[in-house]
Structure 1
């Protein structure tokens, strides 16, 4: 057992493999064919740390980064190459036009007529054509202009008042290769794109990259697949695992037969059993509903017993035999034996939530 080097080392750790991340980027770029490969690094790169992730992807040649909010994009200015573009998917918040224009790498993805009109006014005020992307809704009914609205803005000449760099839409069911909505949205996007033939186009996220060349257009924008999540449901995952989540043991004990464990006593020991309490809980983003899962120590599965608490989780260590875990030993919760997708399936959610839920108390450790 080694003493922690700092207070932060005494808590849970998320190891992020930059080599696996880069391998996934190369795989997706190859799958995309002639299309450019961007990267979605919103929500702090799905919880992995956008600054480090974006810089690693830039080393692989990525120059198109997608974020949700302008505040996320602003944090990457100066960290990515000067020729990189930072697309803001949620668009142009009212009143931020001048602030956005002052950061030339930011490209607002305009989602409404009002946003387009405001950006045209700001372009006129600045005396230059400001960069923008246009989001057209093809059937998700979440963000974007209707095809009719986009055509009207084009016919009125408003779009020519700024530098339109991308026309995009978003697939609602790309992870399901058999979903009829994929083809329906593709056809709708092709129909409207005719009016914007001189502008690069983007439809595919990471899952969409695997739907075929027809979905790639000029730019793909993978997110979850970059971070190791399976881009296609009910298939073998082609992506490398990027993350490893572990937590240290803070106490071990022998739970006597008949004793209860955790809040509300939902688990009662059927026999005397060795147990270990590890320093992770739902306050760290290890979901309370993940109670039916396990931790792994040197490949040995240690079931979670009792309810997951805010700061702690208890493990049944019977499978280790006479060996007792010691304070400071690290138990893995996300690893090859228990991937984010598997944790998600057991918790009634998706891998995206498992990654983005990992909290700020968990130290990110970047491995080359």
Structure 2
């Protein structure tokens, strides 16, 4: 059997920090229990690596977006602990929920009818309290299809939890108004940022996502949340260029003097987008900053390594990925920075 060479990109996931973050968010949830959003492969960091950590930390409620995500999660936790946010859009999905035990989140009257006709049973119900995405509208609350549901958790989703917006209080009031009208066992409103809004938003169950994986959506969480994702990249070439020579597509960078450069195996196909070219982008070797020069390519970036004469091909460099700072430098959201990491990283 031919051995595959090791990747020139790797992603270190600090599982200790991940477990810490869930426990911290669970404590901040007060009398509520914290669940965990594990959609999109645990926000890009790997369900095989992250889900067991969350489970072992004490989490018992997990949220995916697509039905195709259930099987991977069910390798680590019972399917009845997995809720599917998009709900049963087809009869096939409703049957799949019944066969596996995964919990559908009902978002529309049509989904409610489909679930009831398939045999029904335990489900969650999403109320649209103002974000105008998924969820039944407030005027649909009294429909017979909703009354026939066996609602475990009634939930809604905040549109502006990461901002000091009057919308938060409006959504809270709308959610509270609906609660007495639908028979249910538990209530859930807060995501990561919603947890930081305080106990009025906690109810019985919170649903953190971003903050589990190192994001800080509100300043109240600063100092509590730890970095989880640490991308690293290998140097694949070192060379010298002379004054007047240019680097990269469109020749946007010109050497003012003889310059030592390094080519690193990282590009926009790996989620390192050209947006990073703003705000003095760099990679790190230890504490030394290596500036990025020229345009970011699909598979490569070029660095000025003049300050590091001992840098060699095969050496590893760190990508600064403390999410709040990376978001400011790149102009990307913290959510995007996690979920766009490419498939070529070796965990």
TM-score norm. by structure 2 comes to 0.94
> How much has 1:237 moved relative to structure 2?
4.7
Distance 1:20 1:332 in 2: 18
Give the structure 1 partner of residue 214 of structure 2: 228
Given the alignment, which residue of 313, 326, 333 partners 1:350? 333
Give the structure 1 partner of residue 287 of structure 2: 299
Given the alignment, which residue of 117, 127, 133 partners 1:136? 127
In structure 2, runs of 5+ residues without a counterpart are none
Give the structure 1 partner of residue 238 of structure 2: 252
Distance 2:33 2:80 in 1: 13
Paired residues of 1:277 and 1:313 also in contact (CA < 8 A): yes
Deviation string, structure 1 residues 113-167 (Cα, Å, up to 9, x no partner): 00000000011xxxxx4221110001101111011112x23xx2x3454431110
Distance 2:209 2:83 in 1: 13
Given the alignment, which residue of 25, 30, 33 partners 2:27? 30
> How much has 1:313 moved relative to structure 2?
0.6
In structure 1, runs of 5+ residues without a counterpart are 124-128
Give the structure 1 partner of residue 154 of structure 2: 167
> How much has 1:51 moved relative to structure 2?
2.5
Give the structure 2 partner of residue 60 of structure 1: 57
Distance 1:92 1:265 in 2: 51
Given the alignment of the two structures, is residue 360 of structure 1 paired with residue 343 of structure 2, yes or no?
yes
Paired residues of 1:65 and 1:87 also in contact (CA < 8 A): yes
Paired residues of 1:65 and 1:84 also in contact (CA < 8 A): no
Counterparts in 2 of 1:1-368, with a 5 A limit?
A: 6-7=4-5, 9-80=6-77, 82=78, 85-95=81-91, 96-104=93-101, 106-123=102-119, 129-150=120-141, 152-153=142-143, 156=144, 158-159=145-146, 161-176=148-163, 178-196=164-182, 198-232=184-218, 236-292=222-278, 293-320=281-308, 323-335=309-321, 339-364=322-347
Deviation string, structure 1 residues 160-180 (Cα, Å, up to 9, x no partner): 54431110000011111x211
The two structures, once aligned, show a CA RMSD in angstroms of: 1.7
Q: 1:195 to 1:227 in 2, by over 3 A?
A: same
> How much has 1:197 moved relative to structure 2?
6.1
Give the structure 2 partner of residue 126 of structure 1: none
Deviation string, structure 1 residues 209-233 (Cα, Å, up to 9, x no partner): 0000000000001000001111205
> How much has 1:319 moved relative to structure 2?
2.8
Paired residues of 2:70 and 2:79 also in contact (CA < 8 A): no
Paired residues of 2:196 and 2:221 also in contact (CA < 8 A): no
Paired residues of 1:120 and 1:162 also in contact (CA < 8 A): yes
Q: 1:235 to 1:75 in 2, by over 3 A?
A: closer
> How much has 1:74 moved relative to structure 2?
2.3
Distance 1:102 1:162 in 2: 18
Paired residues of 1:64 and 1:85 also in contact (CA < 8 A): yes
> How much has 1:280 moved relative to structure 2?
0.8
Distance 2:220 2:303 in 1: 30
> How much has 1:83 moved relative to structure 2?
7.3
